[in-house]
Structure 1
Amino acid sequence: MTTTTASQLDEVPFENPFVDELRGEVSGNKGSRQVPGYCYSRVAPTPVRAPHLLAWSEELGEFLGLARPTPRGAAVAMLAGNILTPSMKPFAARYGGHQFGNWAGQLGDGRAISLGQVAAVDGSRWEIQLKGAGPTPYSRRADGRAVLRSSLREFLCSEAMHYLGVPTTRALSLVETGDKVVRDMFYNGNAAPEPGAIVARVAPTFIRFGNFQIMTANGELDNLRALADYTIRHHYPELGDPSPEVYLRWFAEIARRTAVMVAHWMTVGFVHGVMNTDNMSILGLTIDYGPYGWLEPYDPDWTPNTTDFGSRRYAFGQQPRIAMWNLMALAQALSPLVADPQALRPSLDIYADTLATTQHELLLRKLGLTPLTPAKDLALTEALPPALAETQVDMTIFFRQLSHLAPALLAAASDEDALFSELLAQAAYAVAPGTAAVLLDWLHRYALRLRQEPASPEAVRNGMLRANPKYVMRNYLAQRAIEAAETGDLSLLEALFEVLKTPFDEHPAHDELAAKRPDWARDKPGSATLSCSS
């Protein structure tokens, strides 16, 4: 494996196909304004005072051929946007979108600036983008900066999702800037200075549904076609050369990938928090980790985003429906590319079918089941979510402990009721009288079905442990790591990052990082409630 040292980082060649092949504004003016007619604006990051490396994704760095840099120096200055190399052509992308169901017009990269693409060790190309790198034409009265709390959350969760097997963008580094950023976390008049930070995030591309929406909404059909052709050539080359028929196959594949992503969200208990169309990746990747959260008491109506408390549009249980809504908005944006816009509709069925099939398959894997009795298995998996909700079960702990119970259940243990009672004691937040009956009935049905599996008890248990993580990026853990990091203590950040990279392992020295949400975190800002500023 060829890697660069920190002193060689400035020699890494960047490629710039987005800038080179699409129409962009090159004035360099960072002033907030409308930018009609362009796919992007060339704009450089704004330097920060004293960049300092807080965290680095070793495995991602190795994949990109990059060695961990020293905490301060030229390499970290590059990761903060203070130094640009001759091969970089930094830009902010222009896009629009529906925010909370309403068309918002031009949005764009208001605090993210892409440096270009680098080649990974396998030859694939990956875009490096600095989030929090300063103002762009799309900053909309904001300063283009990010605070440490939101940056740390994005760094940890991006990598945690990757190691859980969820389609996601990645995070390479977390850099504290040495500057203060003023933020009003809950938009309630309590603005305060906070430590600033920048995340270097990585993906094959950060193109979103909204990149296409802004073109169609403004009648820029030449730009729409150019962007669609670019996306297909670079990111969907297996579909063939762009044509009306390929556009249809492309949209079908976007729908399929989006369904797979959402199915993973629903089976690990992830709540995105702000599924606006400008936060939907054209590659079906989880993108823009803002007011996200993880289910602790299982509740389909739960959202961590205070901005969404009124309608709960983006609550956990609404995510499959909202993804469909967003795909319909994308279909409308792509309709000028095809002769008959109705020909895009079958792809929405592909989304629905793929979502149902993938979610069922993932749940079977979590339950240690193989598809022996399809109709009964489907009834079993469909009955589980309402049973979990009635008992306020911690989804992550429930499945993990069920994995350990599997051998005893396969042996038809005589104390099955006692085993299930212990499971609920470990996994439920509150078992009110009479509320556990539905889940206990489901568990007995599951035990009967499990005993039909031909594999050995140990094989079933091990398979379940590989499908059910012990560790996820719980908000209260992130908040504890944030508060410690703000005092200069990185020990919890580092410990949390290590277990999140191997979430299916036991890590007995860190059992406390797998615990249920403590009472103090139930209503604590940053632990239970966040906002789009988080």
Structure 2
Amino acid sequence: MNFNIENTFTNELPADPIQENTRRQVAQACFSYVTPQKTSHPKIIHVSDTMLKELGLSEADITSEEFKNVFTGNEVFPNTQPYAMCYGGHQFGHWAGQLGDGRAINLFETVYQNKNWALQLKGAGETPYSRNADGLAVLRSSIREYLCSEAMYHLGVPTTRALSLALSGDQVLRDVMYDGNPAYEKGAIVCRAAKSFLRFGSYQLFPARGDVKTLKTLVDYTIRNHFSYLGEPSKQTYVAFFKEVAERSLKMVIHWQRVGFVHGVMNTDNMSILGLTIDYGPYGWLEGYDHGWTPNTTDNTHKRYRYGAQPEIVLWNLYQLANALYPLIKEAAPLEAVLENYQEQFPEKYVQMMREKIGLFSSKESDGKLIADLEEVLQKAETDMTIFFRLLATILKEDTVEKAIEKIAKAFYTPSEVVAEIKTSWENWFQNYLERLQSETVSDEERKRKMNAVNPKYVLRNYMAQLAIDDANKNDFSLLNELCTLLKNPYDEQPEYEKWFAKRPEWARNKVGSSMLSCSS
């Protein structure tokens, strides 16, 4: 394997002077050097061919012992020093202090075709930030992380990536539902890739400790290496940096809402400074369209991170980042202006996104109400989000209301519920929608093409991932391979995979792993 190593993070930022891999508070440092834990019988079970090309690697590299050993933690790549990042964060709205990479170990940074990539192993052992955990990961969570990061990329959602998925050959003890019944599971390791794994919490920790010097060092580093077009670090540049982060974060969450993705644990330590979807834990896609749904069992009572609240949680997290950056700017007004701009921009961006989803390519003032009415009627009876929006593209301008409802009926989980007041609501909405379509100049065929480009036919439903996990636990990776192929082209018809264009089966409604998930690894 050949890599053009360029470790800016470790070369330009302060390191933890203590070398021992012991749990501790790490002060005035952005990272701690740490070596991955060796595994007993590592085995690569899948590699992303698209990510492989991004790194300039070949198919031949996959079969080498070096590839297997480096990306399972059994060998350190020459002239590199693995490390764990130090950061803090708010968890479920409460300041948690130091958190850090508890089960992620960064291997190195590499540059290929003018693109910088940081490569990181998740599940490769303990770090100074592991607290009371073992730093390991299990096969089920690793499959979910691997599949989802690549699925999101092909959906066009800003995201971290995954290079490889491997079995460690070791057993890992986990209490999956936190109910006092731990069991051993297969250990696994994912190699993750991103331009940077810096997150909001990276910037929060230092001012919380009164360490403005290290904060400035980190912010200046971030601007030089990831936002250099903003100019040399200065008070004005810091404000511009914050504005850029806010805009990227807004773009990201609009994409989440578009495809029905729910992150599940939007703590500030899980918010990328580059506006990437990061840390795939208890995530999920909407089955029935429901603004109140969250996939996280830990969040089931308060539903802080529910689907409908994600845009406002991004704003809340941006407030925390603004507080962290304030010591460098010492003026609240410019930061407040950025936050106010987010609040103003979101409704406009959201309505525009929804216009595209329902096939409106001109703008009318009444569109906001049409969209709000649709969101209301979608929740009156359980209606599959992905299927509904995909089928909506099949409606023709000359269709009757009855014909239109018939065309999207497959999206209803219990068609017998769509009677009386619910049916009337649907009839009223389609009457208004069909009238609105008459003012569109694009043809039915062109509208369908454009709608299908923003409304995926296939998403990674939790039950699909769980089926792949169940088979993988029996050493059968064929379904994992099938899903990887399917999710590369989520907007295409792919008739050979039509079986996946279906509502969640009833057996999966309340099954562990197929509906909600815990934060357990």
Regarding TM over 0.5, the answer is yes
Q: Residues 404 and 430 of structure 2 are in contact (CA less than 8 Å); yes or no, is this contact kept in structure 1?
A: no
Letter in 2 for 1:421: E
Q: Does 1:421 align with 2:406?
A: yes
Q: Does 1:74 align with 2:66?
A: yes
Q: Residues 180 and 195 of structure 1 are in contact (CA less than 8 Å); yes or no, is this contact kept in structure 2?
A: yes
Provide runs of 4+ in structure 1 moved above 3 Å: 68-72
Q: Residues 225 and 337 of structure 1 are in contact (CA less than 8 Å); yes or no, is this contact kept in structure 2?
A: yes
User: Cα deviation per residue 1:145-176 (whole Å; 9 max; x = unaligned)?
Assistant: 01110010011110111111111111111111
Cα root mean square deviation, aligned: 1.4
Residues 349 and 439 of structure 1, relative CA distance in 2, 3 Å threshold = farther
Q: Does 1:285 align with 2:267?
A: no
Letter in 2 for 1:97: G
Distance 1:234 1:352 in 2: 28
Gaps of at least 5 residues in structure 1 are 1-8
Aligned to 1:63: 54
Q: Residues 476 and 526 of structure 1 are in contact (CA less than 8 Å); yes or no, is this contact kept in structure 2?
A: yes
Gaps of at least 5 residues in structure 2 are none
Letter in 2 for 1:471: Y
User: Cα deviation per residue 1:309-331 (whole Å; 9 max; x = unaligned)?
Assistant: 12111111111111111111111
Q: Residues 52 and 71 of structure 1 are in contact (CA less than 8 Å); yes or no, is this contact kept in structure 2?
A: no
SS of the counterpart of 1:501? coil
Matches for 1:178-257 after TM superposition, within 5 Å = 178-257=169-248
Distance 2:182 2:48 in 1: 32
Deviates more, 1:379-388 or 1:184-193: 379-388
Aligned to 1:350: 341
Matches for 1:32-181 after TM superposition, within 5 Å = 32-68=23-59, 69-70=61-62, 73-120=65-112, 122-181=113-172
Aligned to 1:384: 374
Aligned to 2:501: 514
Aligned to 2:478: 491
Residues 526 and 516 of structure 1, relative CA distance in 2, 3 Å threshold = same
Aligned to 1:315: 306
Letter in 1 for 2:69: A
Q: Residues 304 and 528 of structure 1 are in contact (CA less than 8 Å); yes or no, is this contact kept in structure 2?
A: yes
Q: Does 1:269 align with 2:260?
A: yes
Residues 516 and 127 of structure 1, relative CA distance in 2, 3 Å threshold = same
Letter in 2 for 1:58: D
Residues 173 and 440 of structure 1, relative CA distance in 2, 3 Å threshold = farther
Distance 2:342 2:137 in 1: 34
Distance 2:377 2:328 in 1: 45
> Post-superposition shift, 1:71?
5.3
Q: Does 1:298 align with 2:289?
A: yes
Distance 1:164 1:436 in 2: 32
Residues 339 and 440 of structure 1, relative CA distance in 2, 3 Å threshold = same
Identical amino acids, percent of aligned pairs: 48
> Post-superposition shift, 1:338?
0.4
Distance 1:482 1:437 in 2: 42
> Post-superposition shift, 1:437?
3.0
SS of the counterpart of 2:379? helix
> Post-superposition shift, 1:298?
1.1
SS of the counterpart of 1:105? strand
Aligned to 1:396: 386
> Post-superposition shift, 1:416?
3.2
Matches for 1:314-333 after TM superposition, within 5 Å = 314-333=305-324
Letter in 2 for 1:423: I
Q: Residues 306 and 530 of structure 1 are in contact (CA less than 8 Å); yes or no, is this contact kept in structure 2?
A: yes
Aligned to 2:511: 524
SS of the counterpart of 2:170? strand
Q: Residues 260 and 354 of structure 1 are in contact (CA less than 8 Å); yes or no, is this contact kept in structure 2?
A: no
Deviates more, 1:337-346 or 1:264-273: 337-346
User: Cα deviation per residue 1:366-405 (whole Å; 9 max; x = unaligned)?
Assistant: 22211242x1222222332222112221110001111122
Distance 2:174 2:442 in 1: 55
Alignment size in residue pairs? 517
SS of the counterpart of 2:487? helix
> Post-superposition shift, 1:72?
6.7
> Post-superposition shift, 1:100?
0.6
User: Cα deviation per residue 1:291-313 (whole Å; 9 max; x = unaligned)?
Assistant: 00110011111111111112111
Distance 2:330 2:461 in 1: 47
> Post-superposition shift, 1:215?
0.4
Q: Residues 51 and 72 of structure 1 are in contact (CA less than 8 Å); yes or no, is this contact kept in structure 2?
A: no
Q: Residues 289 and 379 of structure 2 are in contact (CA less than 8 Å); yes or no, is this contact kept in structure 1?
A: yes
Q: Residues 13 and 87 of structure 1 are in contact (CA less than 8 Å); yes or no, is this contact kept in structure 2?
A: no
Letter in 2 for 1:84: V
State which of 428, 433, 438 in structure 2 corresponds to 1:441.
428
SS of the counterpart of 2:188? strand
Distance 1:520 1:419 in 2: 30
Q: Residues 264 and 359 of structure 1 are in contact (CA less than 8 Å); yes or no, is this contact kept in structure 2?
A: no
Q: Residues 269 and 295 of structure 1 are in contact (CA less than 8 Å); yes or no, is this contact kept in structure 2?
A: yes
> Post-superposition shift, 1:341?
2.3
> Post-superposition shift, 1:70?
4.0
Q: Residues 260 and 355 of structure 1 are in contact (CA less than 8 Å); yes or no, is this contact kept in structure 2?
A: no
Deviates more, 1:221-230 or 1:62-71: 62-71
User: Cα deviation per residue 1:227-280 (whole Å; 9 max; x = unaligned)?
Assistant: 000111111111111100111111111111111111111111111000001000
SS of the counterpart of 1:25? coil
Letter in 2 for 1:474: R
Q: Residues 392 and 407 of structure 2 are in contact (CA less than 8 Å); yes or no, is this contact kept in structure 1?
A: no
Aligned to 1:430: 414
